[in-house]
Structure 1
Amino acid sequence: MKTSVAVLAEKLGNNCSVWRSSTGYALTLEGIRLWGDQLGEARHDALWVCDPDDAEQLARAGASVAVACGEDENADALADRLFAKSGETAEILVAHTKSANELANRLMDVKEALDAWDAALTEEIIARKPLQNILEIAVKQLVNPVAVFDETSGLMSYAGEVSGDYQETIWGVVLDKGRAPVGYYTAEERTQISANIANSAVPTIIRPKRSPLHENLSLCINEDGQVLGMLAQVDLLAPFDSAQISLAMHVRDRLGEMFRTTIAGQHHRSPIGHTLRLLIQGDTVEERIVRYQLERKSWHINDRYCLAVMPLPDNSDSPYSNPYRAEIMLAYPGSIVIDQDRYLVILIHLDQSQPTASREEFIEMLRHRDSQDIPCGVSDEFEFLHARSAWRQARIAVREGNGNGRKGVSTYDDVFFSDFLHQMEQTTPLDVPLHPMALRIAQSERGDEVLSCIFAYVMNGCNVSRAARALYMHRNTLEYRMTSIQQRWSLDMNSMDEDELLRFALSCRLLMQQSLER
């Protein structure tokens, strides 16, 4: 692996070495070479180990040098002079050692250990080993505890010997609950972290106000602006040094290769989208992971949510045939959009504090789309962990609504009786569960009108006035009809117990639905 003078100086021990570099946190040095007169031109990707006499000439040529100096020499002054001679473009390391040979041997040992570490890390990644295994290797060079948050699933893995005083640090909660504490970062700190996502090449180092003696480092693992994961560390003795940041960035890049190949073709713009997919498929999801993901958006498991689904057309000319184009075109502010089984799924969080973020408003937004030719189904309100039931409701709303000739949006309320009727018909003949009197009335002339009056009357507590309003009918007209109905069919609904009355009313409604579909 490539290295830098910052990493080499840390491994040698900062008490015996100083360094200067213009490369920041980048690892640029391919190898360690002992300088000799027989070697011609100096390669710029190597660190040349030499005596002070040769160092100035190499520095002028722009080569990176490691210089052995005596205990009585001023290492800082020598490093500054050589760095200036290089035009401040090279990497300079000055160490108190007996000779260049001794320094070269020590540096080569350090480089060999780093190469072996990187090889082991890479081997685990290529073998697709669990993150925990990979981090147990990573922590051998990353001296502070290290964690990886897999943004596509919300999983958190960490490694390293946990020691020291973690109270009032992010790690005190992360190691206990598996997630960062809600509200740990201030708004300004969250803004800084968000800015880091847009520029993943730069590490984010934050010293939270709650723990001023500690620093948190975070590095985004992303591809084309999509965050795949997050590498995080905490330093108990702030500040982070350049060596640790450089090594952390190296681990981040290695993990990035694993994430990009492992998750290829299954990218989600939000980890909540991935969890939503798992719930829809009936997979097991850890509640603590769901809580962590939702709380990052200030959402909660027990909040109210609503699902809408739209079938993706097979017609390639349709702007919605490609799920990713459809996501962009149909996403609503604050929504989570995924595609599942050739359906586009839109999840909306119903914020109780905002009247505009209601199910009714969501349905109106859907109805005012330009694409009214595409059927759309909307579920009832639900809690997040019940997403599978909502997914079924929304699909039923599409199927039943489209089958009944509806255009645009159908809610589960709209199709409940149609779905209930079809499910009953698949298991038993309707003359078995339905009330016999309702069946007789349905077969008579103008039976639908009679069933409609009876259903409204029962559902309004056998109150003629309320039932008449529900039917948009004059009270006296309905009262006359109900008297005639009870006399003709020898009905005494006042003598029916609650169970029979409910069965009778439900039978009337299902038979009305059956008549509508003929």
Structure 2
Amino acid sequence: MTPGTTGGGPGHVTLRQILAHDDDGVLRLLLAPAGQDITVRGVIIGDEGSARPHDGRIVLAAGLAPGLPDAPAAVREAARRGAVAVVLRESEEAPVPAKALAAAEECGIALLARAEWADWGDAIALLRSATAFASVGRGDLMADSAADGGLAALATATARHCRGSITVEDTQFRVLAHSATGPDADGVRRSTILGGRVPDGRVAELRRSGLLRALWTSDDVIHRPADGDSPERLVVAVRSGGEMLGSLWAAADGQQLSSDAVEVLRRAGALAVPHLLRHRLRESGTVRREAHALRGLLHGNGDQRAHLWSLGLPPDSPCAVVVAVQDTPADGPGPERTLEALAVQVTASRSTARVLREQDRVTVLLPVNDAGDPREALVLAGELDALAAGIPDAAPVRVGAGRAVTSGPEASHSYESALLVVRALSDREARRRDPSPVRHAGPGDVGPTVDALRMLDAVRPVWESCTGPVHELIRTDLAAGGDLVRSLAAYLEAGGDIASAARRLVLHPNTLRYRLRRARERFGVDLDDPDTRLVLALAVRLTEVV
């Protein structure tokens, strides 16, 4: 079957239906020369074979280079092979070029742009969901109720037909819809509806009994007889193709289920497919859109107030950014386990915080009460440090609390500050070799190191553009292993105290004196000259700073 279509129906949908179904703005229509009532029969991702026809399909131009220089040619080729529409990815830096629009107009093919926050999977899921809605059709009371009123109306209509109580759940056992609850409803149903999800104890019991395994593997309605206070139940999995989307449960509620309850629930399961697909699309789209907005806010890209609106945060409230960065582990638990634990901790303990989980870090945008008070961000940094330290065999995590800023649009400054704090912690640990290093801090705790890092970042281009004896010493010695550079670093950090520097290097003082003499004799570096010492101090720090 063509990706993006579903079984059990015509497998096609109009462009108008797709756009009407797109509540989250995954796609933006740029032009439709043949109108919006053209039929879309599936989706093609990129160029799936040079000779394959595209008859009636949407082409997702996934393989085009950034900037879309090849977009006009791709549009013409898709039209030549019979496609009805092309979707191009678009960003603020690379809008759809005018030549691509002209090519679409000339060829009579619709052209759409994918939202910057979305990915190609979202576009496929949108088409799949819209096609499922179109495939269900109308014509009976349950189908008409579901089409007009969504899952809640479907639950009510199903309950009326099977004479039971209905709940619709997703694969995480969250209740998406339910029918009215009668006075004779059992305690499990009441607690499930009131809590918005199936209680953990109930889920564990269903696993032990084998019912969940049967549900996950069966294509038909499963019957569970009444047992004590638990009434008779029917359950059916909701699937699209082989993908599990959720389940429908029918429970006897003070009366026997109807004789055709199995058929009713089977039909309701089929009608629920497009609604659960839409639920999944909205949920994944919300997560991706919020991640895009938070990333834009932290990096200072795009419309900052629009990003805050997407995150549901007031634009004029003080905030601070906290960043937890994990070293790349040589062995032991990977970053996924540790960083996921940190992200869950923030979500559970700070309802107003927004969390961005990336490959080697967790970044938190934390609303605070006072832009001049660093304590809230520091408290969170300490909590994350303690949690990470308690995970056995995990690679080290360093947590930096950025300075608090007066409003959300300034969050990028706090993010920059938090990253510098993390760098400062790493730099201090590497140079001091502290057996009990500090792993979390704010700008006030590591201020001199942060200032030094800023200055080193600023001076690096100057250093890299110059030449001279110090440059030759650094380049040559690093190529040979760096013993002399390390010796010079220890000597300078010890303020010229040979005995102290030798102890740190675990060398005899005479060995260190010999190395310093080599620097003078071989490279012409005079350690008695204050300018030379300054350049050397910067040079050895620049070779260590990451």
Q: TM-score, normalised by structure 2?
A: 0.32
Bigger Cα Rg: 1
Q: TM-score, normalised by structure 1?
A: 0.34
